[in-house]
Amino acid sequence: MSKRSSVFPIRSFSIFPALAFAAALGAPLFVADAAHADFRVCNGTQNLVGVAIGYRAEEGWTTEGWWQVPASTCATLIEGELKSRYYYLYAEDAARGGRWTGDINMCVAENEFKIAGVQDCFARGHQRMGFKEYDTGRQGSWMVQLSDTPATQEGQN
């Protein structure tokens, strides 16, 4: 597989310019409660990490990516109450090429993607990667902490 380590299209946006503009106009700022439900990934490394997620949707298995998660920050991959018990994660360190993988094969693409189905990845023009399974126990929210150490920490918010 030939993958350019610098290719992780941005899947999130920064709200800071909008907040700064609103504050300059004297508009009230409403900050979301930190306890709201979602699936988050936090990057505990010193490098940019590209992240993809897999899950079971009404229409079947789906994978999505890439979220760029800068060093020492978090990204919300799924907003709102989690609907599935199991979620699957694959991540790559953009600088050093390290990976957080598992043994559940799902499809990914080199650029931003949302892929329905996990079968025949290569035949459909995608790549196949091993995703790690996270059993949320049907919790409403979940957070995965990526770190430089081999063990990945996880838990509910």
Per-residue pLDDT of the chain (157 residues; tens, 9 = 90+): 333 333 444 333 333 333 333 333 343 333 344 456 799 999 999 999 999 999 998 889 999 999 999 999 999 999 988 988 999 999 999 888 889 999 999 999 999 999 999 999 999 999 999 999 999 998 888 999 999 864 444 444 4
Whether the CB-CB separation of 80 and 117 falls below 8 Å is answered with: no
Q: Given this model, what pLDDT does residue 35 score?
A: 53
What would the 3-class secondary structure string for 132-155 be?
Answer: EEEECCCCCCEEEEECCCCCCEEE
| pTM, entire model | 0.72
Q: Given this model, what pLDDT does residue 89 score?
A: 97
> Strand runs (DSSP E) across the chain, as ranges?
38-43, 49-57, 60-69, 74-79, 86-93, 99-100, 104-108, 113-116, 127-135, 142-146, 153-155
Q: Given this model, what pLDDT does residue 126 score?
A: 97
Structural domains of the chain sorted by starting position, each given as residue range(s) with its CATH number in brackets: 37-155 (2.60.40)
